[in-house]
Amino acid sequence: MAKQPTIRVLLCLAFHHHWFIKKLDISNAFLYGTLEDEVDMDQPQGFIDPQYPSHGFLLSHSDSSLFVKTTSTSITIILVYVDDIWLTRSDSTLINAFLVHMHEVFSMKELGVVSYFLCISVQSHSHGFFLSQQKLVGGLQYLTITRPDITLVVNQACQHMHSPSVGHFTVVKRILRYVKGTLPHGLSFTPGPFLLYAYTDSNWGGDSVDRRSTLGFCVFLGPNLISWSAKKQATVSRSSIEAEYRSMAHTAAELCWLQQVLKELSISYSSLSVLWCDNVYAMALASNPVFHACSKYIEIDCHFIRERVASK
């Protein structure tokens, strides 16, 4: 299934270039699972026509549901989410030929310009796109796809699903009351420069039970929020510097992955991605080549961050 940040990046790209995103649905997709022929998981040697080395789509290395075909004059992008397909292209006149070929192979429905997918409403207007989930189908975790404002509290509530208490149910009811009063809230996507930057933070020892820290980050592509996370760290951090630094490491990894997605989508963006952090000691550790005894236990993450800093 396509990753949610990939979907948001595609929305930013389509609106920036005024491309239409068409939605396709493969009828009874599960019926295509019965295979009677031999299937090659890797393309056989000699299959590529030397006269047309880039005749087909290339599978993204960043997202296994993203397929991209580029030529000297156009780019075609396909995003697959189970049996739902998004299709967009820089040259709209060439999309029809592709759709004709798809109809020859699959029983397929064309659902027009994307307006609703996976219980998520996509409203297009003159200023951009607006994503919301007012029908509230599914659970609170699924709702966080378009509601970053509840990501942290939902994450904290889910940590007690194995043994919930009356107090935990009270917290969930409070979340539901908040959601009911803010149903129209969602994500807005507006045009802007393709600048990739992120904010990261951590609450050192924030969990009063096991004293593990919770890391959080949000990544923007221009004015648009495309990725975020709130997650409890796997181990107890022995200092606030360690907690902040591990948060920086997770955020830097997300930035590197998003840079690869932008590259595969042929999006021209500033090569300098900025990571904002409010801990001066953690930032100093990212550029200071000297390790002290108090910081050796986070040396691996330090090397990772330092490599990213050195490569701008």
The pLDDT of residue 298 is 62
CA 204 to chain centre: 26
Percent share of the chain, pLDDT over 70? 87
The pLDDT of residue 37 is 78
- The domain spans of the chain are 4-125, 136-183, 193-310
The pTM for the full model equals 0.80
Better-predicted residue by pLDDT, 247 or 35: 247
Span 190-239, pLDDT tens digits? 988 889 999 999 988 877 777 888 889 999 999 999 999 988 887 787 78
Percent share of the chain, pLDDT over 90? 23
Helix (H) or strand (E) holding 274: strand 274-277
Cα separation, 156 vs 169, in Å, equals 12
Span 70-110, pLDDT tens digits? 888 888 899 988 778 899 888 777 788 888 888 888 888 88
Domain 193-310: CATH class, spelled out: alpha beta
Which residue has tokens 């997918």? 117
The radius of gyration of the chain from alpha carbons, rounded to an integer in Å, stands at 22
Give the tokens for residue 35.
Answer: 């295979």
Span 256-278, pLDDT tens digits? 999 999 999 988 777 788 999 98
Distances from the Cα of 159 to the Cα of 148, 215, 243, angstroms: 18, 15, 19
**pLDDT level of residue 178 (50, 70, 90 thresholds):** very high
User: Sheet containing 116-117: which strands, arranged edge to edge?
Assistant: 116-117, 120-125, 128-132, 186-189
Number of helices (H) and strands (E), helices first, in the chain? 8, 14
Secondary structure of residue 286 in the 3-state scheme = helix
The pLDDT of residue 43 is 66
Distances from the Cα of 84 to the Cα of 105, 166, 178, 211, angstroms: 16, 40, 31, 42
DSSP for 207-242 reads -TTT---EEEEEEEETTEEEEEEEEE-SS--SSHHH
Span 155-168, pLDDT tens digits? 888 877 778 889 88
78 contacts 92 by C-beta, under 8 angstroms: no
Per DSSP, which regions of 92-169 are E strands? 108-113, 116-117, 120-125, 128-132
The pLDDT of residue 51 is 74
